[in-house]
Amino acid sequence: MNTFQEKLRRWSFFRQGLDRSGTNIEQALKKVMAVYSAHPSGPLSLWARVQSFDNQGFQALDHQQLAVRMPAMRLSVHQIPVANAPYVFAATVPPKSGDYWQKRYAQRGLPNEDFVVWRTEILALTNTPQTVKELKKEISFPEDKLKFVLNRMAFEGDLLRVGSNSLRANTISYVKTTAWLTNWSEDYLQSVTQEEALDWLAKAYFKAFGPATVKDFQWWAGITATKAKQAITHLDLVNLEEQYYILAEDFTDFEKFNLEIPENQLVTILPQWDAYLMGYAPEGRARVVETQDLPQVYGKLGATGGNALGTILINGKTAGIWKHKFKGIQVQFEKSMFDKTEGKIEKQIDTQLHEIGRLMEAKKIEIS
């Protein structure tokens, strides 16, 4: 890792709030724009960025309508600050007004004429959050079609997801968008044009993830190269070197930046799909992962893969991976370090894994 990449790593570490400077969960979410909706990944991404985390504060994102869960970057479901959701959604998800979703789900055995009828039925059932199990008891159409109907409705913005009350459970509920957010009209998500949304998204991306390349932005957003290039033409960017761009408004701060990661924050544990690992194209991950370690972090496809595993950072750089398994009230953590680590570092790692276990309400915690 050269000097420039080392500076990028330290800058990104602080920029994304991994120094735990966030005073509340909502602030931490805004700093990274979005987190994956799935539990425990989403909650743990926010836990890693705040001074104090509790389940009640996290649940407030859903139940106080501070954030929404909807398809976004790379068509994956994210939890997004509610004010930003129309821009993120319009920039990254094909519009309801076209025929993209109709064709996609027709290929999966959901004819449009059936969908139109079943959609009306689901809208009538989801004025309050409903689980799939609850909906199956009420619908008149085949149960094996329910998943496709719900997914298409979510992609078209008619439904939102509401997370489980448990940080470790991934059971979700579905609710009609306009019933959950009563100040949103039926066409609210279509009120922003894709061009406007992409301009907004590009600036927000380079604010949170820059310095970065255009390819990084394209990969992260899940859009075409043409759209990515067009969006950045409206930004005031500075080319640092090797086509790494930063917003002009941040250039002076970057040039002066010389912060080191504090001794008591040398260890950072991040969940699968965390923004710090998922913010850059395969070619742009040198700031966070050494080349030889890419296959272990991103799977068998190595640098061409996309789904980062749970990671253990030392001084902001990926030094190992971790995973967990629940057996009743017991959670088993398995960590795999790339190189031998000092005893004090191992102790910090284990301390944080124990904290994660307690957050997920485990009564017994084992680490290997």
For residue range 43-87, what is the model confidence (pLDDT) as tens digits? 999 999 999 999 999 999 999 999 999 999 999 999 999 999 999
pTM, two decimals, is 0.94
The predicted structure's pLDDT at residue 236: 97
Which pLDDT band, with edges at 50, 70 and 90, does 303 fall under?
very low
Identify whether the C-beta of residue 36 lies closer than 8 Å to the C-beta of residue 207: no
SS3 (DSSP) at 325: strand
Residue with tokens 């190992």: 320
Within the chain, strands assigned E span 35-36, 67-71, 77-81, 130-131, 159-162, 173-176, 237-241, 244-247, 267-270, 310-314, 317-327, 330-337, 364-367
Using alpha carbons, list the distances in angstroms from residue 333 to 308, 349, 351.
17, 11, 12
Least confidently predicted of 106-115, 260-269, 321-330: 260-269
C-alpha 83/C-alpha 64 separation (Å) is 13
Q: Please state the rounded mean pLDDT for residues 15-24.
A: 91
Strand 364-367 and strand 330-337: pairing? parallel
Looking at the domain that runs over 194-256, which CATH code has it been given? Answer: 1.10.10.10
Report pLDDT digits (tens) over 217-276.
999 999 999 999 999 999 999 999 889 999 999 999 999 999 888 877 889 999 999 999
The pLDDT value given to residue 21: 86
Q: Please state, for a pLDDT cut of 70, what percent of the chain lies above it.
A: 98
| CA 327 – CA 325 distance, rounded (Å) | 7
Cα four-point dihedral sign 7, 347, 308, 36: negative
- CA separation, residue 339 to residues 91, 293, 336, 347 (Å): 41, 11, 9, 15
Q: Residue 188: how many CA atoms within 13 Å on its side-chain side? A: 17
Decide which of 11 and 263 is more confident. 11
Q: Tell me how far apart the alpha carbons of residues 34 and 296 are, in angstroms, rounded to a whole number.
A: 25
pLDDT score for 170: 86
Burial 349-365 (b: 16+ CB within 10 A, else e): beebbeebbebbebeeb
Residue 241 confidence (pLDDT): 87
- Per-domain residue ranges for the chain? 3-190, 194-256, 264-367
pLDDT at 195 over 90: yes
Residue 302 has pLDDT above 70, yes or no: no
Residue 331 reports pLDDT greater than 90: yes
